[in-house]
Amino acid sequence: MFVDGAWTPARSGETFTAESPATGEAIADVPLGDRADAQRAIAAANRAAEGWARLSPFDRAALLHRVADAVEARRPELARTLTLDQGKPIRESHDEVEELVQYWRNAAEDGKRLEGRLANSVSAAKRVLLVRRPRGVIGVITPWNWPYTMPAELIAPALAAGNTVVWTPASTTAVAAVALAECVAEADLPPGVFNLVTGPGSVVGDEIARNPGTHGVGFIGSTETGRLVAEAAAGKAAVLELGGNGPIVVLDDADLDLAAEATVTACFLCAGQSCTAGERLLIHRAVRDEFVAKLARLVTERAVLGDPFDEATTMGPLNNDGVAAKMDEHVADAVERGASVVAGGSRAEGFPTDLYWQATVLDGVPPESLVATEETFGPVAPVVAIDSLDQAIELTNASPYGLLAAIFTRDLAKGLEFADRARTGWVNVNESSNYWETHLPFGGRSGSASGLGRVGGSSPLEAFSELQTVVLSDGR
């Protein structure tokens, strides 16, 4: 672990063994942190908070750019570690490392532009300054599907805004987390500004969220865990980016080739382990058969399940037993309810672990089935028939989730109508649901199970800072 500027074991001396989902081999022993370790890191972050906050945004930006420089210098090593620890294909790992650089550089520059304003006073003898101040110590809790970029979405802006950070990553990608922390350590930030504590989320994450020494919390992960974090962090500033079941809608006037191509990316990038995955496909009945045929052909050609270190592989194993078991359950439920298996449909055989799941296309999926109502988080494309734009909107808004949706139509007026009426935080028109840009705000709609606040761009800097009002009087 990295606490107060130094690498350290857990106080208990205990470790846990990290195993690769790709090979099944033990790849590292990781410190098994506990509440005492989290408390030690929080205390260090509080000691460092005032000095870090007093640095100019330009000085902080220079240090954040040094983190990006360290990432760039370690590209091949970071990509290999990510594939070994998470399971995603090496080509995707290289993409994630490239995006990681951008998150650190974006935050560095956004921090320079985090500005207050001059407000008016009722008195001509007074001037009012509204100044942006850091909140203090930000606790960051992150998942395993993008173990580099998702932490960076929160850590980099928190630091850029003048906060110190205590971070705990998902245990199943703790090795990748240590690799990222090595880059931060190499940038030589002041001791205590950045801290990494590995260990179970129910212990370390709960302590970070609950401890009065943290003044804000950033969490990315499942809706269920997000609710626990929100309860533990009650009263603190929070950014919670949670789950999704956002649909891909294909209307009868859509470019079906474009829609099918985008759906392959939407459903099978990172083996479907994405909150923005195409969790359900709402396809107009008039074009459903043609679309399903195109999609099945593309899946057979392009969803190449295999050794994630092979450049020809486009889909690796699932990350852990829990998500594989959910795939088992959701696909079986859909089939029992009448869905037909067009491609895939089961775990693959002949691989080093049983976490390799075939790219699966299901047709005739009932709207009430688990795969159409819950977040499956696996390589599945469930096709639900619809008859109109209105029905697509109704089904979109019937979901408890409200993160992202995509629609394919040649009529941009229909695309805009869908965006106006769909209760999701992001809508893509004629683009994959897995399309995003690092500088744009991303998060769920209010009242949904997809969280609150926004990651991306300057949004987290605003969430992790607050306005201080300063009144200046000339004494009259």
Give the number of other CB atoms < 10 A from CB of residue 446: 11
265 and 280 part of one domain: yes
| Contact status, residue 319 vs residue 305, Cβ threshold 8 Å | no
Q: What confidence tens digit (pLDDT) does each residue in 147-166 have?
A: 999 999 999 999 999 999 99
Residue 166 within any structural domain of the chain: yes
Catalytic residue chosen out of the listed positions 241, 279, 374, 462: 241
175 and 267 part of one domain: no
- pLDDT, mean over the chain: 97
Q: To which residue do tokens 């199970």 refer?
A: 449
97 and 135 part of one domain: yes
Give the number of other CB atoms < 10 A from CB of residue 6: 11
Q: Terminal CA-to-CA distance of the chain, rounded, Å?
A: 56
Give the number of other CB atoms < 10 A from CB of residue 43: 18
What's the structural domain count of the chain?
A: 2
172 and 319 part of one domain: no
Reported as a pLDDT band with limits 50, 70 and 90, residue 458 is very high
pLDDT of residue 475: 78
- Is residue 109's pLDDT more than 80? yes
236 and 259 part of one domain: no
Residue 43 within any structural domain of the chain: yes
- Cite the beta strand spans of 313-394 per DSSP E: 340-343, 360-363, 380-386
- Angstrom CA distances, 52 to 40, 161, 344, 469, stand at 18, 10, 52, 21
Read off the CATH number of the domain in which 69 is found.
3.40.605.10
110 and 224 part of one domain: yes
231 and 342 part of one domain: no
Q: How far apart are alpha carbons 171 and 205 in whole angstroms?
A: 11
Residue 104 within any structural domain of the chain: yes
Q: How far apart are alpha carbons 369 and 377 in whole angstroms?
A: 15
Give the number of other CB atoms < 10 A from CB of residue 253: 14
- Is residue 476's pLDDT more than 80? no
Read off the CATH number of the domain in which 416 is found.
3.40.309.10
209 and 227 part of one domain: yes
Residue 380 phi, psi dihedral angles, 5° rounding: -140, 140
102-140 residues labelled b (16+ CB within 10 A) or e (exposed)? bbbbbbbebbeebeeeeeeeeeeeeeeeeebebbbbbbb
| Contact status, residue 251 vs residue 273, Cβ threshold 8 Å | no
Which of helix, strand or coil describes residue 141?
Answer: strand
208 and 266 part of one domain: no
Determine the structural domain holding residue 193 and report its residue range.
2-242+453-472
Mean pLDDT of 100-121: 97
Mean pLDDT of 100-118: 97
pLDDT of residue 179: 98
- Angstrom CA distances, 6 to 193, 195, 305, stand at 11, 9, 40
Q: What confidence tens digit (pLDDT) does each residue in 273-310 have?
A: 999 999 999 999 999 999 999 999 999 999 999 999 99
Q: To which residue do tokens 């599945």 refer?
A: 380
- Is residue 388's pLDDT more than 90? yes
Residue 284 within any structural domain of the chain: yes
Residue 152 within any structural domain of the chain: yes
The question of whether 275 is a catalytic residue gets the answer yes
Mean pLDDT of 169-197: 98
Residue 390 within any structural domain of the chain: yes
419 and 458 part of one domain: no
Q: How far apart are alpha carbons 219 and 231 in whole angstroms?
A: 12
295 and 235 part of one domain: no
pLDDT of residue 246: 86
Residue 173 within any structural domain of the chain: yes
Q: What confidence tens digit (pLDDT) does each residue in 126-144 have?
A: 999 999 999 999 999 999 9
Residue 107 within any structural domain of the chain: yes
169 and 261 part of one domain: no
pLDDT of residue 390: 98
pLDDT of residue 404: 97
Reported as a pLDDT band with limits 50, 70 and 90, residue 46 is very high
Catalytic residue chosen out of the listed positions 183, 267, 270, 275: 275
| Secondary structure (DSSP) of 177-215 | HHHHHHHHHHTTPPTTSEEE--S-IIIIIHHHHH-TT--
